[in-house]
Amino acid sequence: MSLLAISCVALLVGQTLGAGYHEDVGIPEAARIRAKEALQASERISGGVASSYGDNPHLAGILINLRSGQMSVCSGTLLTTKKVLTAAQCWYDGYNVGRKAEVVLGSMQLFSGSKWDVAGVTVHSKYNPSTLFNDLAMMTLRWSAWLSNNLKPAFLPDPANATYTFAGDEARVSGYGKTSDYDELNPNTNQQALTVTVMGRWDCYYNMARRPADYSKIMCTPGNIMWGTCGADLGGPLVIPNFNGTGNHLLIGVTSIQSPFGCTTQFATGYTRVTEYLSWINSNL
């Protein structure tokens, strides 16, 4: 996951902005990550730094069994002991629909960690897989997660500060995935994270490989030839770590729009802006 973006090369290749994530990215990424773990190797954000247990206690890995019978992967954010926020694309990308999902929590590896069954998925009622408008979904776990220093929820912005853009603030993206566009099997730590600066709205718009029709609900982090989002990070968290010295991680974005040209092509990564959806998120907790 280069740049700050979680390991989600989620490059929605196709006629539309968003359709096709699972076949283009998620399914092959699931097979690749599983093969690496079988060889005791790992995946990571391109240009990122290896994480230790507890660095990203809110990070959720998501294993999705599609109706086609294939497996795909995404990321998400633990918000309560039973709720995980992710991208709507992870459940329905315009072509493929999820049949069953499991969430991996508190693990450095995606396939070998402790898993929680997903009892239900609520996709935003106005989600559009072609434009990626309202690209959010809430997953409800069948059983509550066991919280600890290595596993605890991120927290949401105060509604009173909903107009704050976070432009210029340093944020962290984390996930399981590629370290570059040419990532090969090698023994490295699986979970990675990277710190980057949140872009202003106009910079965000002009630096995306695919510009959304409505950018008011999107925020961005810059791309670079040394970093960017890769692999299985779609739906994962963009947070302000240790917010106001509290030791807690403030969720500000959900990975949604990535470059279709690769992890390190210098295009910005787009995130669904959490402050624009606080009412929807809270109503589904």
User: What would the pLDDT profile of 119-165 be if each residue is shown by its tens digit?
Assistant: 999 999 999 999 999 999 999 999 999 999 889 999 999 999 889 99
What is the distance between the alpha carbons of residues 278 and 284, in angstroms, rounded to a whole number? 10
- Does 14 fall in a domain? no
Task: Tell me the backbone φ, ψ of residue 200, rounded to 5 degrees.
Answer: -70, 165
Structural domain includes residue 177: yes
For the stretch 104-129, pLDDT in tens is 999 888 887 889 999 999 999 999 99
pLDDT digits (tens, 9 = 90+) for 4-58: 333 333 323 233 455 688 887 788 777 767 776 655 433 334 444 455 557 899 9
DSSP type of residue 208? B
Domain assignment of residue 2, yes or no? no
Is 28 buried (19+), middle (13-18) or exposed (0-12) by CB count in 10 A?
Answer: middle
Asked if residue 190 belongs to a domain, the reply is: yes
Neighbouring residues of 150: CB distance < 8 A, sequence distance ≥ 6: 53, 54, 57, 106
Domain range for 112 is: 21-283
Q: 176: closest CA among 187, 190, 188, 189?
A: 190
Q: What is the CATH number of the domain that holds 238?
A: 2.40.10.10
Tokens of 236: 């994962």
The domain total for the chain is: 1
148 part of a folded domain: yes
Q: Which residue reads 């917010």 in tokens?
A: 243
In a domain, 167, yes or no: yes
CA distance 229 to 1: 4
